[in-house]
Structures are given as C-alpha cells and as structure tokens.
Amino acid sequence: MALQIGQQAPDFTLFNTEKKEISLSDQKGQNLLLLFFPLAFTSVCTAELCSVRDNLKIYEGLNAKPFGISVDSLHTLKKFKEEQALNFELLSDFNKEVSKAYDALYDTFGYGMKGVSKRAAFVIDESGIIRYAEVLENASLQPNFEAIREALSALKV
C-alpha cells in the first residue's frame, strides 16, 4: 500500500558509501529529502542526482538534507558518487527492504531485472512525518522538484 502524506515515515538503517550505518530515526530534528533512484550511472539518474548536487544550497537553505537511495551495491554507489562529485549521502538498499517499505520497488524493470528501486521522492519533516510523496512508474521521468521545494518551504513557516 502506498505511503500517504501525514503518515510516519518507515524507519530504516542503510549503509552509506563510506560503510557507515545511517538510520532515518537518527535524522530527527531536520527535514529530509529521500530520493529513490533505479540505477547508478544511467542517464536520468545521473541528471536527477546532479541536479540535487548543483542545487544543494537551496535544500540546505530549506533545512533539508537529501539522501539518494538505490539497490546498487556500496561499491557501485561510491564510484558513482566520486565520478559525479555528489555532495550528499548515497545509501545502498541492496536487500530492497527500504524500497519495498516505501512502495518504491519495481517487480520487473528493463531487461528483465527484478527488484529495482522506482524513481521516487519523499519529504520527511523534523518529526519523521511524510509531507510529500511521489512515486513514479515511468523511470524516464524525474520527480517534481518544484513541488518538492514548495513542500520544504511550507515546513519553514
């Protein structure tokens, strides 16, 4: 069942590219932008995450910390982060548990790949409540970053 605005965000613990555990519950007190993406090094994923990189000051100004989440391995995500000079955390959901909890997992993706993260965006407030949720069925589309920034701006009031 799809997560709804106003619901408590499912907690999780994933490893970042430096092999450090990152838990959602440890992020309380700041707004979060969770960006699920299908696969590192693909064109739309690269464009999406580079857009966040290039606009990080905007998100910081909105008291928001972005995280990129995919089912790629830690090693793949580390290389991707380095090559694209990404300035925010990438988390590996290799076991697909978090993507599933957020209803952001394809049963079957291109080329018969099973269990790939859907492109999705969630804004989570300082208390862990979902304030924006967008799960895209079409992986060639990007999240609505204008709507994401509006949701984050509303949290600053």
- By annotation, the residues acting in catalysis are 45
Instruction: Show Cβ contacts of residue 66 under 8 Å, excluding neighbours closer than 6 positions.
Output: 32, 33, 34, 35, 52, 56, 59, 88, 89
Handedness of CA 58, 40, 46, 110 (dihedral sign): negative
CA–CA separation, 9 vs 21, rounded Å? Answer: 18
CA–CA separation, 46 vs 37, rounded Å? Answer: 9
Give one DSSP letter per residue of 106-125, joined into a string: EEE-GGG-EEEEPEEEEEE-
